[in-house]
Structure 1
Amino acid sequence: MSTPLDATMIETIQSFDAEKRYKHLVKEVVANREIWILIDEHGCVMLNTDDEDCVPVWPNKEFAEAWATGEWETCKAEAISLNKWHSRWTHGLEDDELALVVFPIPEQEGLVIYPDELDYELKTLANKHR
């Protein structure tokens, strides 16, 4: 379970570019053993890029909740355990031909990657920490 982030830490992390936020997400997800999505009454929130339908993911509850404004204000942040992510989500997203938007923040897009790429990064880092 992650420790709540203070305002200074949130501000610092939000200053990262998309690539650095991606690296931060991988590190946090492995450390906390959970990844965050937004859900509404229909399931997980989706974003659309020019080429892909994507599921946005965040490393911490605070960042997911910060995205839940405007048309997404009724959405709730939900943690998915890393084990469930590996066992169900990666394959499910691939089967549905969905990509991921890694750690979008207000005013900045996230990196668009494929589920197997994130899975590989998470497993590689986790194996380094064993």
Structure 2
Amino acid sequence: MNADEIQKVLAMNADKRAEYHHQSVTANREVWTLIDDDGAVLLVDEELDCVPVWPAEVFVKEWINEDWAHCRPHKISLQDWQQKWLPGLADDDLDIIVFPLQHDGGVVESPLA
């Protein structure tokens, strides 16, 4: 993926990024998230606790800045995502935020959707 393609995807609104994410995950058979030394990072607000996901490592790296400098991208196979992560997120009452950007949130989805 070249720089122009990356910028084109980053310019999409949250719904289009979610659609792009789902298509990419299906095609590439992998999901990317953000981890630190304690495991998967959560994005928390007053109402929701969400695990952020992205379709590729390059987009996770776009998220990392000073506040997240201690974090790193983490690849999950689609099989592990479906068989381990989604049931675990549901058991822990966590949602998923699909392809968030620093300046634009992502689409929140239930792990059982």
Give the CA deviation at 1:64. 0.6
TM-score normalized with structure 2 length: 0.96
CA deviation string 1:6-54 (max 9, x = no partner): 1101110011111111100000001000000011001011101331100
- Equivalent residue, structure 2, for 1:39: 35
Question: Quick one: which amino acid aligns to residue 102 of structure 1?
Answer: V
Alignment TM-score, normalising by the size of structure 1: 0.84
Say which structure is richer in helix.
Answer: 1
Q: What corresponds to 2:98 in structure 1?
A: 102
Root-mean-square deviation (CA), in Å? 0.8
Distance in 2 between residues matched to 1:100 and 1:70, nearest whole Å: 23
Give the deviation of 1:78 after TM superposition.
0.9
Q: 1:58-97 alignment to 2 at 5 Å?
A: 58-97=54-93
Match of 1:12 among 3, 8, 12: 8
1:49 is matched by which residue type in structure 2? D
Separation in 1, partners of 2:73, 2:49: 19
Gapped regions of structure 2 (runs ≥ 5): none
Q: What percentage of aligned pairs have identical amino acids? A: 39
Question: Which whole-Å CA distance do the structure 2 matches of 1:92 and 1:45 have between them?
Answer: 14
CA distance in structure 1 between the partners assigned to 2:63 and 2:41 by the alignment: 11
1:91 aligned partner, one-letter code: P
Which consecutive residues of structure 1, in runs of 5 or more, have no partner in the other structure? 118-130
Alpha-carbon distance between aligned partners in 1 of 2:62 and 2:75, rounded to the nearest angstrom: 15
Letter in 2 for 1:83: Q
1:111 to 83, 107, 113: 107
Q: How much has 1:74 moved relative to structure 2?
A: 1.6
Q: Distance in 1 between matches of 2:104 and 2:50?
A: 15
| Equivalent pairs, count | 113
Could you list the structure 1 runs, at least 4 aligned residues long, displaced by more than 3 angstroms after superposition: none
Match of 1:28 in 2: 24
Report the alpha carbon displacement of residue 70 of structure 1 after superposing the two structures with TM.
1.6
